[in-house]
Structure 1
Amino acid sequence: MATADAALRDTFTLQGVTAVQPRRPDGGFDWDWRGPRNDPEWAWFFNRHLVFTDLLAAYQQTGDVRYRDRILVTLDDWIAQHPAPSGITFSAAWRPLEAARRVMESWIPVYAALRDDPAAFPPERRARFVASIRDHALHLRNHHAFSGNHLITEMLALTRLGLAFPDLPDAAGWRSYALDRLARAYEDQVYPDGAHKELSSHYQRVVALNYQELLDLLRASGQEEAVREWEPRVHRLWNYFAAIMKPDGANPLNNDSDTESVAALLRQYAPHIRIPQKTVRLPWAGQVIFRSRAAAAAADAAGVRGSEFGVQGSANAAAANNAKLQTRNSKPAATAPPPPLLYAFFDIGPRGTDHDHADFLHVSLSVGASDFLVDNGRYTYTPGEFRDYFAGPSGHNVLLLDGFGPDQGPRAVTAAADAAGVRGSGFRVQGSDSRFPSPAGNPEPETLNPEPAASAAPAVEIAWGDTTFASASRPAFAANPRAADWRRLVAHVPGRAWIVVDRVITFSPATLTTLWHWSPECTVEPVPGQSGSLIVSRPSATLHVRHAASQPVPADRQQITARSRPSPQGWHSPRFNMLEPASCTQLDQAIRAPLVNVWLFSPAALPGASIRISADHRIVVQLDPATSLTLDPEAPGKSAVTGTMR
């Protein structure tokens, strides 16, 4: 009701921004106004007429004709002001995506509810409306996007128009064309492991919901053969979400994304899918999601209580939203909740075909429902310093060389990455005969997370990726493609810790910058008397950080929060147009020769831990007197953990 009442006052909230929409001198809305921030997104969203559904709900609840009449007057004004264009356009009114969202999400539901009301749709208005509906269908048929999530949305809208208005000329042709393009788009845009090729969890949601609606339309229209064909395809999209979902039930903010409840989506659309409790590799998306239950001692030391989808004291709203899913997917605890799920998201894959960020080799970490290392979201699409920050390397947990990010590699791949895959990325389980979980793209949910075989030896899971830096003075890779090489290796000791190894090979003077972006809820403090150590605290959990370098070099470490000048740093955006201060740990090192940095992250303090790096860059991480981990960045497959895991 509040949204509908605000609309009666010409006040609208779009993508988190509220403003009064101006009107033309003749009384109609200024449909091209870009909102209070001069953002084209405002004009596009306003022309989708999403408020119609709120006004319709208010009318149906109250019977107050002011809500109904506001819909109809606005509809009349829009149709009068916007005859169909003769070609493709990116105008506020007729960009194909807006045409699709408008008819699919606003016009068709309103017409279905009010078409039999003679006061709402008398013959003259009905004729104008149906004529504009046909204009929309022809526009989408002839001027749709060529690819991407826009094409999928536009073809779903054309399908719905053909079904909702079957008596219009060419309605059957619209349906046939749209269904064919939707099938081709799926084959072109979705990897076998279920990831949409834009590799944005937000647009994965858009695509999954569109194909889910297609499946529902096919079921409702009795097309059983098509339903059987589409069910495993749609299942694969939801399976990808199950694979990447964080312990709090939300999504990682890879590429252009907002914080959204993946658990709520799965609960509604794919309740049969099991949520992985072990590590999952997505070989086409090039993403490794490390998971393990925290060792009991580690959970106690970190002060963590609870498990995924609900940690006591967590500030994350997604946790509360997902309690039902946790209940369905977990065995009830006899006495106390299980230890928290340790989670890491490591990007070693393609960049993404659209909405991509410079985030190759980015790492995110969570302990239970508490995020620690994060991707910072998208904030805005308006060109400028903040768009550069959120989409560029400075907004991610990566390395910079003389202020420049590394090569991001291809936007898409045509083969799954393996140990000799894209840019040398790979994955290994060492020290155990555990069977690796199947990729989340497998359409059979029971194969998503097979239990590993029993093993007396402790295991370590290792993933890595390679890239290069260009020269700071000549950033074009064609001019100087090998200014420096960077390999990042992430080792996961289940239940205990993560180790991140960055090996940079260069023989020229340069400044190497390491960035660690923390969740806005985190407090970051140095550990007294322990150089290179940090303690990162949240109300519900703690993360301990230890750092070592292969050789002493001049270094400067600083915490940056909410900086705007000389360039943005220390900001987080949980949703589009939302901006929050968040701490960033920045380590600058002056190097002139190869260097290895080792970072140990653990929910427990590990007071006996140590890091040793030999001259040939072999690494020994002693977690405690009984457990050590040997890592070789040159040959990651030779890494191993020895001792007794606790």
Structure 2
Amino acid sequence: MLAVYGLLAVVMVAAGGIYLSETGAAATPCKWVNHERLARPCAVAEVWNGLRQEAEHAPDITSRNANISVTRNAEAEARQLWEKGFVPLGRNVDPWSFEVPVDWNADPFKDRNWRYQLHAWRMLDPLLGAWEQTADQGFLTDALRIILDWHEYHAVRGQKSEYEWYDMAVGLRAMKLAYLFQRAFEGDVQLDDAGKAKLIHLAWLHAQSLMDKRLLSKGNHGLFQLHGLLALCKVVPSIETCTGAQNFVKTEMQDLLLRQFSSEGVHLENSPEYHLFVYNTVKRFMDSGWYDQFDFIRDLMERVAQNRIWMVHPDKTIVTVGDSEPKPVTIDWPKSSDSCQGAKASCYLLQNFRDSGYAIVRSVWAVPVQKASMLFVMGMFFQTGHKLPDDLSFEWFDEGERILTNAGKYSYSNGPFRDYVTSTAAHNTVEIDGTTRKLTEATRYGSAIKDAKVMGETFLIRGTVPREEGIDHERLVLFRPQRWLAIVDVLQGDAPHQYTQWFHFAQQWRLENAEDDVSLVSSSGRTVLVRHLSGAQLVTSRGQKQPKPQGWVTESYGNMVDRQALGYTAGGRSVRLVTLFGFDASAVDEASVAVSRYAPDPLHAMSKH
């Protein structure tokens, strides 16, 4: 269905998104405004002046509350857009030659995130930032030239782009539209009547999309959709499709946040990075003052804020569970006793988010990072968004460095490394028959954490997960900080399978010995010994590419580095796999005793009967 500018555009919802359809009626700005709020004259100038007068009562749309990233180098980045090309913020890709008219359906890197950022108008961020820093109207003129080209491509020429109505992109565009409307109303940039009409039409189209509940994301993208709608409709409330926007946002925002966060105040998209990202996003939105009447948001965000400290390692890098990267973050630790400078049982904390699906052991906050320990166990599957097949996986940090980690998200581009990080074998969990189960709504299990407690100086965390082929998987994690870690997996099925217990070391650890107790040495000079008690076959891999990748870890978005992977493989209908880690032989012996005490072999017991 093609839409022709100059005809009344009607939004039609189809499986692939929103499409414009012509109706044959003459289209003027009069058709796109609510005449109960705004007088009826249809000339562009009258409609524009009416909108401008209403906008005098609107709150300020700033780069912060419009989610526009302004860097100190915005002016240079704005000029580089035309000289070198478009590079989305935070993405390590080559510049894409950028000029108007734009090929809005381009996909030069085979990366869906890049395509979304193109349609989120991310190239406007440095332009708008440069205008804020220099007051040079040329930067605003360039920004308007780009968005009117987007309108020309889609609404006038009727061409299609796969990401033109992508949920989060629409929300971010709506924020930028609100910002530019305000700049134009205040005379910071000049528009002719044709440009004004197109801007009004863009507002109508975006509000129409954002007010459609069927198109509202149930994940964190929905936050951007709702905030974009609120921003746009505060500036141009008489746009016809903005009718009821305030109440719509209030109702849907509450419902969305209650789906996004557990009652414990933990984000439910399976990734610590997104807990931090969504908190920062909502806080930035709240700072606008537009949500002061939404008491539930403030109360929920207070709990979410308190839980941020559990999502990062003692070195203040994000735990790489799910679609997370090991990014450093700025965060303040709570105050705690300075008496915990050494290792003692009273100097560790256990946080059991049982309803949410995380269990964490870590040193108290006063312990310096060089002596600090942390174990993060993952057992969450409430939503498919940002979920990776890392059921009952974990990360281990001790005495200043990461030891065992997950693969991280790599990127959202298609290719062998994205396939790798979305495979079971890329995580510290058990792979079944060398395959990865597809993650669907039907395979969600909520929280897998069943128990988390401390017994003397030993911490115990237990989780259970229903796996593919009707297999039940129970994992028992025993941990004594600064000494040892024990992983006990029991898998029971109705038919024989091959099970591989995978462990992935941080990049700085190198395999030194693969006989008897396997030993790995860190670049810091420390050693970890690994002892397997179940007679499974050992597989070692580092930087393997064929027949499929193994032994890799995300260093930053789109950047993979090699690292050491160990796999212990055994076959049978039901198996018990036990692997111990310790900083010396006596520590591994202690771990073995703890397994005998706290995790007796249920399969052996069954065989006696």
TM-score by length of 1: 0.71
Could you tell me how far apart the structure 1 residues matched to 2:307 and 2:542 are? 33
Which secondary structure state, in structure 2, belongs to the residue aligned with residue 278 of structure 1?
Answer: strand
**Does 2:520 match 1:535?**
yes
Alignment check: 8 A CA contact 1:365 1:372 kept: yes
In structure 1, the residue matched to 2:502 is 515
In structure 2, the residue matched to 1:71 is 143
Which secondary structure state, in structure 1, belongs to the residue aligned with residue 559 of structure 2?
Answer: coil
**For residue 569 of structure 1, what is the amino acid of its counterpart?**
Q
**For residue 174 of structure 1, what is the amino acid of its counterpart?**
A
In structure 2, the residue matched to 1:240 is 307
Could you tell me how far apart the structure 1 residues matched to 2:597 and 2:138 are? 71
Which secondary structure state, in structure 2, belongs to the residue aligned with residue 241 of structure 1?
Answer: helix
Which secondary structure state, in structure 2, belongs to the residue aligned with residue 158 of structure 1?
Answer: helix
**For residue 542 of structure 1, what is the amino acid of its counterpart?**
R
In structure 2, the residue matched to 1:82 is 154
Say if 1:595 and 1:411 are closer, same or farther in 2 by CA, change over 3 A. Answer: closer
Which secondary structure state, in structure 1, belongs to the residue aligned with residue 211 of structure 2?
Answer: helix
**For residue 390 of structure 1, what is the amino acid of its counterpart?**
V
| Pairwise CA distance, 1:160 | 1.7
Which secondary structure state, in structure 1, belongs to the residue aligned with residue 94 of structure 2?
Answer: strand
Could you tell me how far apart the structure 2 residues matched to 1:257 and 1:19 are? 25
Alignment of structure 1 residues 77-156 onto 2, 5 Å: 77-83=149-155, 91-104=162-175, 106-113=176-183, 115-117=185-187, 119-122=189-192, 124-142=194-212, 144-156=215-227
| Identity in percent | 18
Residue deviations 1:441-464, cap 9 Å, x none?
xxxxxxxxxxxxxxxxx3322112
In structure 2, the residue matched to 1:437 is none
Say if 1:119 and 1:570 are closer, same or farther in 2 by CA, change over 3 A. Answer: same
Could you tell me how far apart the structure 2 residues matched to 1:607 and 1:407 are? 41
**For residue 538 of structure 1, what is the amino acid of its counterpart?**
S
**For residue 356 of structure 1, what is the amino acid of its counterpart?**
K
Say if 1:360 and 1:506 are closer, same or farther in 2 by CA, change over 3 A. Answer: same
**Does 2:604 match 1:580?**
no
Within the candidate set 556, 579, 588, 2:538 is matched to 556
Could you tell me how far apart the structure 2 residues matched to 1:210 and 1:273 are? 26
Structure 2, unaligned stretches of length 5 or more?
1-72, 338-346, 603-609
Could you tell me how far apart the structure 2 residues matched to 1:16 and 1:338 are? 30
Say if 1:341 and 1:161 are closer, same or farther in 2 by CA, change over 3 A. Answer: same
Could you tell me how far apart the structure 2 residues matched to 1:459 and 1:94 are? 54
Alignment of structure 1 residues 488-499 onto 2, 5 Å: 488-499=475-486
Could you tell me how far apart the structure 1 residues matched to 2:293 and 2:171 are? 26
In structure 2, the residue matched to 1:620 is 593
Could you tell me how far apart the structure 1 residues matched to 2:357 and 2:560 are? 29
Could you tell me how far apart the structure 2 residues matched to 1:242 and 1:8 are? 41
| Pairwise CA distance, 1:114 | 5.6
**Does 2:107 match 1:34?**
yes
Could you tell me how far apart the structure 2 residues matched to 1:146 and 1:78 are? 23
RMSD over aligned Cα atoms: 3.6
Alignment check: 8 A CA contact 1:85 1:94 kept: no
Residue deviations 1:226-250, cap 9 Å, x none?
3x33211112222332222211212
Say if 1:583 and 1:174 are closer, same or farther in 2 by CA, change over 3 A. Answer: same
Say if 1:339 and 1:573 are closer, same or farther in 2 by CA, change over 3 A. Answer: closer
| Pairwise CA distance, 1:395 | 0.9
Worse-superposed segment, 208-217 or 359-368: 208-217
**For residue 598 of structure 2, what is the amino acid of its counterpart?**
L
| Pairwise CA distance, 1:174 | 0.9
Alignment of structure 1 residues 205-220 onto 2, 5 Å: 205-217=276-288, 220=289
Say if 1:629 and 1:397 are closer, same or farther in 2 by CA, change over 3 A. Answer: same
Alignment check: 8 A CA contact 1:194 1:240 kept: yes
| Pairwise CA distance, 1:393 | 0.3
Could you tell me how far apart the structure 1 residues matched to 2:437 and 2:464 are? 10
In structure 1, the residue matched to 2:451 is 427
Residue deviations 1:16-40, cap 9 Å, x none?
21232365xxx511111012x2333
Residue deviations 1:265-285, cap 9 Å, x none?
x56xxx989999612111122
Say if 1:113 and 1:579 are closer, same or farther in 2 by CA, change over 3 A. Answer: farther
In structure 1, the residue matched to 2:581 is 601
Alignment check: 8 A CA contact 2:77 2:126 kept: yes
In structure 1, the residue matched to 2:55 is none
| Pairwise CA distance, 1:154 | 0.9
| Pairwise CA distance, 1:504 | 4.3
Alignment of structure 1 residues 351-390 onto 2, 5 Å: 352-390=383-421
| Pairwise CA distance, 1:118 | 5.5
Residue deviations 1:41-73, cap 9 Å, x none?
322211211222212223443455553432232
Could you tell me how far apart the structure 2 residues matched to 1:547 and 1:578 are? 32
Which secondary structure state, in structure 1, belongs to the residue aligned with residue 155 of structure 2?
Answer: coil
Alignment check: 8 A CA contact 1:373 1:519 kept: yes
Alignment check: 8 A CA contact 1:505 1:593 kept: yes
Alignment check: 8 A CA contact 1:352 1:412 kept: yes
Length, aligned pairs only: 515
| Pairwise CA distance, 1:633 | 4.5
In structure 2, the residue matched to 1:610 is 589
Could you tell me how far apart the structure 2 residues matched to 1:201 and 1:241 are? 8
**Does 2:157 match 1:157?**
no
Could you tell me how far apart the structure 2 residues matched to 1:103 and 1:180 are? 19
Alignment check: 8 A CA contact 1:22 1:30 kept: no
Which secondary structure state, in structure 1, belongs to the residue aligned with residue 124 of structure 2?
Answer: helix
Structure 1, unaligned stretches of length 5 or more?
294-328, 332-336, 432-457, 471-476, 613-618, 622-627, 636-646
In structure 1, the residue matched to 2:550 is 569
In structure 2, the residue matched to 1:259 is 326
Say if 1:535 and 1:111 are closer, same or farther in 2 by CA, change over 3 A. Answer: same
**For residue 537 of structure 1, what is the amino acid of its counterpart?**
S
| Pairwise CA distance, 1:190 | 1.9
Alignment check: 8 A CA contact 1:279 1:292 kept: no
